[in-house]
Structure 1
């Protein structure tokens, strides 16, 4: 591993996303000499006003998304790109070789891995093949034609987070809510955990910090507590290294009231809700990722257990000095 020899420039995509703001805050807590450049589709995205320079981007699906990002990186002499939003990851992955050919450093899983992680039914199939305990899961078509035991849990088959997820108590409830874009899972009682993970650029796990999701709002953890659970950590290692998942990722699981541990979700990105808790507990995932990409020495990781996070709303105030002009932070 090398040592830091100069300030670097880091580009953060989707700068208005919760994940991005958390990453910016985490990087500000390090001794890495850097300047931050941000991009977002929203000209008033909060993260654009937390970086040295912000740019408005087309949407990730727009053919001009990657060319615009590359133009910005060239103009700002960017060293490292940190993709943030789930929908952007496959776009960056599909152009990774082109990006790296420009001298830029980026960490993103392979496209087939991203596709599988975005499909909850495929994730369950992967767990089963790996011998990882997981909830019984049915496609919407299977669930509509089987006799099932209630309660059950409905989730959107694709996408991250738990928005739109709901518990159903009867066959009538199931048929009322069930649409082709849902999967149906057995309902798991007990404590729910998210495991914040960072792996090296080949997908070998460096460290993992499990946390109990004490309170959830809108699919995000608003209160959590770090814990030490060797079974969760070792099972997480098996999962991320089997895929593999380089860089940041997070897994979700439940330990039922009978003590059974069951995994049910894989997110190949920075956690949206709990990253600040991992950082506060001693696992600064954005710092480790930047150091990996730059080939720098990694910090010693010592994760504290029993650290509690309470999340709350905060506000940012902007001012437009001239009509039609650029907004600025209101002092």
Structure 2
């Protein structure tokens, strides 16, 4: 079988590295091309070919052109995003990117943009009877007053467009509510979902026609917005709600649905229209989302939900060590031997 060339972006971050690990664990012959703007991004030393591109934050257009050039030069079959910050741009420019490169972007543009907005996500899920936390906008005075009458402090407040818990605060009283409503740009207010030790992250794969391609449920413990302890569970209720949520949004490919199990049942509080930092964990338990994406979007296979296994993952830091000259080589964009590691333990 011919090798499939995969571009992975954001390979210095946990999601990008997780995608690389999943691809290495797949049963397909793949050539992995890593892309990042940071010359010492660790993922650039884990792949078959490495490329530096301009910073997306400082020059989005140059970054987009960098992705186009890399995909053209490498003859890439598919591109996987390892950094959520680029998703709005990729969604908006998907037709242009695919036309210029012949590289598949496995995402649904309109659905992706909606899922990146927490308020629009709640509105869509409510319309499809998916259980969600009570959510309001602080500038809707009537709805906010009604919300405050129905819920005791503390409340959750977070930006409409953020991930990994970035910007999230607990609001404990009227004074804090007024302050953060002014201080935080474009926030939403939600009821606090308790207990906080009942958090689940569910990986869902959706085929191009909206048909399900499988799910895997992880009960997780968090630190700094990332899962550090996860348990793969057979939980049909959580899996069904996550699938319902992903399909309601109209998403395709790998989707990450986050929820908590409360006294009144599961409630979905976030949907990430992308792979997550737990992608490689799910791959270990038999649900390899990057492999499923290649099989479906590149090879044209219809996906039957894979058999998954139960187990526990304990996550920890991992180090790579290099001689000093690697820094100068990396700054020149030279990765002639990306696998050359001085020490790893």
Q: TM-score, normalised by structure 2?
A: 0.86
Instruction: Determine whether 1:311 maps to 2:318.
Output: no
Deviations 1:80-138 (A, max 9, x none): 2112211222222233223333322221121x322221221111111211112211112
1:169 to 157, 169, 172: 172
From the superposition, tell whether residues 317 and 157 of structure 1 become closer, same or farther in structure 2 (CA, over 3 Å): same
Q: CA deviation at 1:184?
A: 1.3
Q: Identify the structure with bigger relative contact order (alpha carbons < 8 Å, sequence gap 6+).
A: 2
Instruction: Determine whether 1:18 maps to 2:18.
Output: no
Q: CA deviation at 1:53?
A: 1.6
From the superposition, tell whether residues 316 and 143 of structure 1 become closer, same or farther in structure 2 (CA, over 3 Å): farther
Q: Distance in 1 between matches of 2:297 and 2:327?
A: 42
From the superposition, tell whether residues 142 and 7 of structure 1 become closer, same or farther in structure 2 (CA, over 3 Å): same
Q: CA deviation at 1:300?
A: 6.4
Q: Is the 8 A contact 2:53 2:66 kept in 1?
A: yes
Q: Is the 8 A contact 1:123 1:264 kept in 2?
A: no
Structure 1 segments unaligned to the other structure (5+ residues): none
Deviating more after overlay: 163-172 vs 9-18:
163-172
Per the alignment, residue 153 of structure 2 pairs with: 150
Provide the aligned C-alpha RMSD in A. 2.2
Q: Is the 8 A contact 2:321 2:341 kept in 1?
A: yes
Q: Is the 8 A contact 2:125 2:132 kept in 1?
A: yes
From the superposition, tell whether residues 242 and 322 of structure 1 become closer, same or farther in structure 2 (CA, over 3 Å): closer
Q: CA deviation at 1:69?
A: 1.6
2:238 to 224, 232, 235: 232
Report 1:96-107 matches (<5 A). 96-101=94-99, 102-107=101-106
From the superposition, tell whether residues 323 and 236 of structure 1 become closer, same or farther in structure 2 (CA, over 3 Å): closer
Q: CA deviation at 1:287?
A: 0.8
Partner-residue secondary structure (3-state), 1:159: coil
Q: Distance in 2 between matches of 1:259 and 1:184?
A: 20
1:209 to 203, 216, 221: 216
Q: Distance in 2 between matches of 1:204 and 1:9?
A: 25
Instruction: Determine whether 1:47 maps to 2:50.
Output: no
**Which has the larger helix fraction?**
2
Per the alignment, residue 128 of structure 1 pairs with: 126
Q: TM-score, normalised by structure 1?
A: 0.89
From the superposition, tell whether residues 53 and 142 of structure 1 become closer, same or farther in structure 2 (CA, over 3 Å): same
Q: Is the 8 A contact 2:10 2:35 kept in 1?
A: yes
Deviations 1:217-249 (A, max 9, x none): 111111111222222222222222222111111
From the superposition, tell whether residues 201 and 59 of structure 1 become closer, same or farther in structure 2 (CA, over 3 Å): farther
Instruction: Determine whether 1:241 maps to 2:234.
Output: no
Structure 2 segments unaligned to the other structure (5+ residues): 332-337
Deviating more after overlay: 239-248 vs 69-78:
69-78
Per the alignment, residue 254 of structure 1 pairs with: 260
Report 1:186-197 matches (<5 A). 186-190=191-195, 191-197=198-204
Q: CA deviation at 1:266?
A: 0.9
Per the alignment, residue 291 of structure 2 pairs with: 287
From the superposition, tell whether residues 72 and 254 of structure 1 become closer, same or farther in structure 2 (CA, over 3 Å): same
Q: Is the 8 A contact 1:199 1:206 kept in 2?
A: yes
